[in-house]
Structure 1
Amino acid sequence: MTPDILAPLAPLRRALAKSLRDRVAGADAEERARTIWGSAGPRWFTPEDPIWRVHADASMFVGGVRALLLQSLHPLAMAGVAGHSGFRGDPWGRLERTSRFLATTTFGIIAHAEAEIAKVTGVHRAVVGRADDGRPYSANDPHLLEWVHIAEVDSFLCTYQQFGGTALTAAEADRYVEQSAIVAGKLGVRNPPTTVAQLHARMAAYRPELRATAACRDAAKFLLLDPPLPVASRPGYGLLAAGAIATLPGWARRELRLPPPMVLWDAPGRLLGRVGAGVVRWAMSDPSVANRREPGTAA
């Protein structure tokens, strides 16, 4: 379609872009964008790097939902979320903090990235307790940190390859996992995977530990069926959630009591996810936000 045909949609595009940016980046988005993009100094990554391409794409909106569902399947990780994150009371605050971390560590200068990592590590020190089965947990436990990391990397890579721009080559996908390992290692993950094959092997190694607890299923219901969104925004969010569900592995869907892998479910789900990511990509390429990247807001 030509720009003239799309012109009547410009107000809708701007409104959608602002709504998405406010949800993801928060009230200080402008100031944070100036800090990330205006600061001089060396950066870990460049626009040519796979991690930049993946984290700047609209498919991150689908990947974020998928990652949260996967992460919740570790009972100790879920216990930490349920006991300390306030995900029900302040879900957008949690999303904003995650967005800030990803944006700063991916696009920002090294000094700011390392400061953000130190801040997160400090917050994690207070996230300790016991799960319902009596086992202790700590958010700085390297084993739990690794699960959170690999669930994110697997989700972001999977949804980018399904719903992103130009898919990564096999070598680029390995490079993405390797680049993600830089941040993970500084957070406290020991020997994070650096290739796709290693990533899949680590995911499989965690499988015996993973199951859906009552808190996990409650979180999934909140995330998928009762998100804290206005009624008008829920259909669009549903597109992203459908894409996330369609790309989950079968065992995870069975644990979460979601539709099993079947062409009947997955083909429409992937199509909906592609449409949802496309709408986000269109909105976030609006000139009012296109030069202020956050995860998922790429240019």
Structure 2
Amino acid sequence: MTRDEGLFGPRSVTWQMHGDPMMWVAGIRALWLQALHPRAVRGVTQNSDFRQDAWGRLRRTAHFVGTTTYGTTEAAEKAGARVRKIHRTLTALDPATGERYPVDEPELLLWVHCAEIDSYLNVLWRSGYPLTRSAADRYIAEHRASARLVGLDPATVPVNRAEMAAYFKEIRPQLALTDEARDVDEFLLRPPAHPLLVPAREVLWRSVAHLAYAALPPYAHELYGRRAPGGAAVTRELRAAGRLLRGIPARARWQLPPKHILRAVGRLGEDARPAPYKAGR
């Protein structure tokens, strides 16, 4: 009987990378970057109460990534179908022109996809994750699969670092700091928290958020209007954070809900455990 390894499988770069704890920092960077596309960020702010349900939104995003990476093929396809179904029903309004447009426009889906994949790759690589250039290209190419799940034609998606860089160069003139982006920025700096958790937010969240923001490309810092340390200093901070988080035993980290990795290892065997040294194979 053939075992179901899902969309990517234990021999993929994605399988190894997505088990790394720096993915949380990368995910927050992606949110900051995605908010700079005016049409894309309106689709979020006009169709969700992200301030009141921000943590729920983050958990749902993490669950989607975990399911599509480590779940069965059926589970990944069902997760993608749910996302596409929701997006088909949503529109956003451009207040400047009065235009109402669907949030699943291919160019908007492509922006969200590229900002996410670029963030994952950028943060992990700079934090010391052992990636070769060819492995980085493979990672980008593998995510034609996740692009298809959200409704994109895989043929339109960058398949290597050169194509990804060309995409960001082309899209940059469309990026701007809108009121909606300011709302996302303010939220990411000071997310709502129970009064008893405010001290922890100030210590823990601020550290993570600072690092995620600093890891943005320089043009994003210019748009948000806040300086960040130089690239070399940020890379040193990312490496220090990577060493600290990777020092926590993987089995302990993977115990956190919803335990996608542990379920995948239980399904496929111990040889399916993600590990950084496997990414370059």
User: TM tier, shorter chain?
Assistant: 0.7 to 0.9
1:156-175 to structure 2, matched below 5 A, reads 156-166=120-130, 168-175=131-138
Q: Does 1:213 align with 2:181?
A: no
Q: Which residue identity does 2:214 align to in structure 1? A: A
Q: Secondary structure at the match of 1:194?
A: coil
How far off its partner does 1:137 sit?
A: 3.0
Is contact 1:239-1:273 (8 Å) kept?
A: no
Cα distance in 2 for residues equivalent to 1:50 and 1:203: 23
Normalising by structure 1, we get a TM-score of: 0.77
Cα distance in 2 for residues equivalent to 1:248 and 1:173: 18
How far off its partner does 1:225 sit?
A: 3.5
Paired positions, count: 254
Per-residue deviation, residues 200-243 of structure 1 (Å, max 9, x unmatched)? 11111111111010110121121023453722243222222222
Change (3 A) 1:241 1:275: farther
Q: Which residue identity does 2:219 align to in structure 1? A: W
Q: Does 1:46 align with 2:9?
A: yes
Among 86, 89, 96, the alignment partner of 1:123 is 86
Which residue does 1:107 correspond to in 2?
A: 70
Normalising by structure 2, we get a TM-score of: 0.82
Is contact 1:128-1:136 (8 Å) kept?
A: yes
Q: Which runs of 5+ in 2 are unaligned?
A: 262-273, 276-281
Higher relative contact order (CA 8 A, sep 6+): 2
Q: Which runs of 5+ in 1 are unaligned?
A: 1-39
Q: Secondary structure at the match of 1:137?
A: strand
Per-residue deviation, residues 47-92 of structure 1 (Å, max 9, x unmatched)? 3311112211111111111100110001111111111122101111
Among 211, 231, 240, the alignment partner of 1:243 is 211
1:249-260 to structure 2, matched below 5 A, reads 249-260=217-228
Q: Does 1:87 align with 2:50?
A: yes
Cα distance in 2 for residues equivalent to 1:235 and 1:143: 37
Q: Secondary structure at the match of 1:115?
A: helix
Is contact 1:240-1:277 (8 Å) kept?
A: no
Cα distance in 2 for residues equivalent to 1:102 and 1:136: 29
Among 199, 202, 207, the alignment partner of 2:167 is 202
Q: What is the percentage of aligned positions where both structures have the same residue? A: 34
Which residue does 2:267 correspond to in 1?
A: none
Q: Which residue identity does 2:209 align to in structure 1? A: A
Cα distance in 1 for residues equivalent to 2:184 and 2:172: 20
Is contact 2:177-2:224 (8 Å) kept?
A: yes
Q: Does 1:149 align with 2:113?
A: yes
- C-alpha RMSD over aligned residues: 2.4
Which residue does 1:63 correspond to in 2?
A: 26
Per-residue deviation, residues 164-202 of structure 1 (Å, max 9, x unmatched)? 532x11111110000111110232223111111111111
Q: Does 1:179 align with 2:142?
A: yes
Per-residue deviation, residues 19-61 of structure 1 (Å, max 9, x unmatched)? xxxxxxxxxxxxxxxxxxxxx6242222331111221111111
